[in-house]
Structure 1
C-alpha cells in the first residue's frame, strides 16, 4: 500500500446546467495539510477536514460517477484514498438518478444527462471554482460503477443507444485521459462501432457473481468494441457481486433486504476495498502521473 501524503479535505459545490435549467451537488475530496476528524455524512462517517484549504500544488482530477439511484458517498473508500495521495476527486450526485430523486431512471434523458454533467463538472472546476489553480488540466480521469460506468464510457467517446435502439446524444470529452469502469452498464454500446472512438486506457472490473451486468454485457462488449483492446486492463473479481464495488456500509445498514449492502456468501468487501483503492491509484498513476 502507498502511504498517504496528506489529510483529506471535503467540501461541496453546486453545478448549474443552464441549458436544461437544473442543478446538482458535487462532493469534493482533495489534499490538505489541515487536521481531519471523523465526520458524519448521513449514516456514513468519513475522516475529513471540512472546507479545508487545498495544498498549494497541482493535482490530477478524477470524477467518480455513481450507479443507478446512488449517492456521492458510496465510493468514499476510493475517493479518500486518492485524495490522501495527491488527487482531487469530484463526485456528482446525478440529477434525477440518485437516492433522493430517481425520477429519470431508465429514461433517455438520464442517458444524455449523465455524461453531459461529468463534462459540466469538469468545466466548472477548471474555470469557476476555488480549485482551478490546483488542477492539472492534462491529467483528468473518470471512475464509474454500474450506470456510472456507462457514463464514463460515454464521456470517453462511446456512442450510446437506448434499449429501443435510439441513438443517444453524447459528446466525447477529449480532456479525459483514462477511465475506470466497475461492473459497467456497457450494453448501451452493443452496436458495431459504438466504442470506436474510445481510445483511452481502461481499467475494467467485473464480478463473477454479478447478476446485473454479467461478462457478456460488460467485458465482451468493451473488448470487442474499442479499437485497441490492449488498452483495456481486465480484472475479474472472484465471488464478488454487482454491489461489491460500493464502499462497505455501516453494520446498521447491512440487512438482506438492502441489496447494495449484500455480497455473495464469503466475500469480504472490507478487505477487497483496500485492494481496490490501491489498484485504482496505481492504474491512474501509471497513466496520468508518470505517463
Structure 2
C-alpha cells in the first residue's frame, strides 16, 4: 500500500519537491468550498463554526444481497459509518480537521487502493453550539464508488449555516470496500431512511448522545449524488418500475426484495417518511436503465432540486435526469443544468493534476472548473434548503429565475457570471 499523501493548497511545492508535509490550514489557505472571487451570494460560509464527529450505526437483520444465491437469502447486521458536521464552538487552540479518504480499489492494478488526506475547516469533537438548536437535518449520500468525504465543500458549508449534516459511508459501495452493484441497488434508499430514523432517535432531548436536542429530524432533507441520487428519489416516493425490479432479480435471485421499494408493495407508500421536507438529486442514476416509469415518478411529492450536466454520459440527460424532472409531475421541482458538463457535478475538485488520469476524472469536469461548480452548488442548496427546511421565504427570489442564464444576470450572481447554466422550475401538475 502506498504511503498517505497529504494535500493542501500549495500543491505545486508538494509535487515539485516530492515532500510530504502535514500542514493544517490557515485562514488564508484555500480549502475545498472556499469562495472564488466570482462566487454567487449564498455560497459563502455562514456565521457558525463547524464541528465534526464520526460514529457507527448498525442496521440489524438486513438482507445480505451480496451473498444471495438461488433459494438462499441470508441476512446480516449492516454496519454504517457516518460523519456528522454541526454548528460548534472552537477553542482557541483548536486544530482543523484532516480528512482521510481513498483512491482506487483493492486488487485494482490500474488504480490500487491509495489513502490520502486533505484539510477542512471543521474541528473534530468540538463542542456543539446549542444557542439556536435544534437545527434541521441534511443527510448526504455518495455515489458508487465514493465516500462520506466526497462533498466536504458542501457538508461544512451547510453546517456553518445552521444545519446538522450527516454523510453516510455506504457499506459495499466505497473505494476501500467495493461490493457487488446489486447491494447498492437494494440498500441505498434503505440506508438513507435508516440513518434518518437513527438521527431522530439520537437527537431526542433525553438521548444519551451529543446530538441530543441538537438536531430537528422533523425538518430533514436528503441529498444524493449519482447512486445517492437514485436512492433519495426512491426514499422520497419514486417507486421502482416492475421491469427494473425483475432485472434486479436476474442479478441476485431476489427480485422479491427490490419489489419492496416499488409501488407494487402496499407498504412502500407508507415507508416515505413525512419528516423529509426536501430532496436534492445530483446526477441521479437509473432513469436511462429503466429504474422508473410514469407511475413511479408521479408518486414523488416532496419538493426536489435536480442538478445535472447536459452531457452526462453516466446517468444520461435527455433520457436520464431531464426525463426524471419532466416525469415527476406531482411535486414542486427545480433543475439546474451545467451546460457542457458531464457526470461530476457534485464532488470536491481533484486534489492534483498529477493524479492517475482515472482518479483525476473521478472528480474533474473536462470543461468546468470544479471549484466554480462547488460554489454554485453551495448557493443553490442554501436557497433551496433555507426555503423548504427553515421557511425563509426571502430565499425564493434566488430560485425564481429565467431559464437561460444569459437573458439576464441571475439573482445573487455577479454581473456577467451567470453563464453556461440553465434553470427550470415547475409546480405540481405541470
User: Which residue of structure 2 lines up, in the alignment, with residue 275 of structure 1?
Assistant: 376
Q: Is 1:25 the counterpart of 2:81 in the alignment?
A: yes
CA distance in 1, matches of 2:354, 2:139: 26
Report the secondary structure of 2:259's partner residue. Answer: coil
- The one of 48, 51, 57 equivalent to 1:15 is 57
User: Which residue of structure 2 lines up, in the alignment, with residue 60 of structure 1?
Assistant: 136
Instruction: Count matched residues.
Output: 287
Report the secondary structure of 1:60's partner residue. Answer: strand
User: Does the C-alpha gap of structure 1 residues 174 and 218 become closer, same or farther in structure 2, counting only changes over 3 Å?
Assistant: farther
Q: Is 1:204 the counterpart of 2:280 in the alignment?
A: no
Q: Is 1:228 the counterpart of 2:286 in the alignment?
A: no
Choose 1 or 2 for highest CA Rg.
2
User: Does the C-alpha gap of structure 1 residues 137 and 89 become closer, same or farther in structure 2, counting only changes over 3 Å?
Assistant: same
1:91-145 alpha-carbon deviations (Å, 9 max, x no partner): 011111111111132x1x4222111111111111221343131112321001101
User: Which residue of structure 2 lines up, in the alignment, with residue 195 of structure 1?
Assistant: 297
User: Which residue of structure 2 lines up, in the alignment, with residue 219 of structure 1?
Assistant: 321
User: Which residue of structure 1 lines up, in the alignment, with residue 20 of structure 2?
Assistant: none
- The one of 178, 181, 205 equivalent to 2:281 is 181
Q: CA deviation at 1:252?
A: 6.0
CA distance in 2, matches of 1:208, 1:60: 31
CA distance in 1, matches of 2:98, 2:259: 38
> What residue ranges of structure 1 are gaps of 5+ in the alignment?
none
CA distance in 2, matches of 1:218, 1:32: 39
- The one of 93, 98, 111 equivalent to 1:40 is 98
1:72-94 alpha-carbon deviations (Å, 9 max, x no partner): 10100110110011000000111
User: Which residue of structure 1 lines up, in the alignment, with residue 177 of structure 2?
Assistant: 101
Pairing 1:50-199 to 2, within 5 Å after superposition: 50-56=124-130, 57-105=133-181, 107=182, 109-128=183-202, 129-161=209-241, 162=244, 164=247, 166=255, 167-170=258-261, 171-187=271-287, 188-199=290-301
> What residue ranges of structure 2 are gaps of 5+ in the alignment?
1-40, 63-76, 101-116, 203-208, 249-254, 262-270, 393-430
User: Does the C-alpha gap of structure 1 residues 206 and 244 become closer, same or farther in structure 2, counting only changes over 3 Å?
Assistant: closer
Q: CA deviation at 1:272?
A: 1.8
| Conservation of the 8 A alpha-carbon contact between 1:186 and 1:217 | no
Q: CA deviation at 1:39?
A: 2.3
Report the secondary structure of 2:358's partner residue. Answer: coil
User: Does the C-alpha gap of structure 1 residues 252 and 219 become closer, same or farther in structure 2, counting only changes over 3 Å?
Assistant: closer
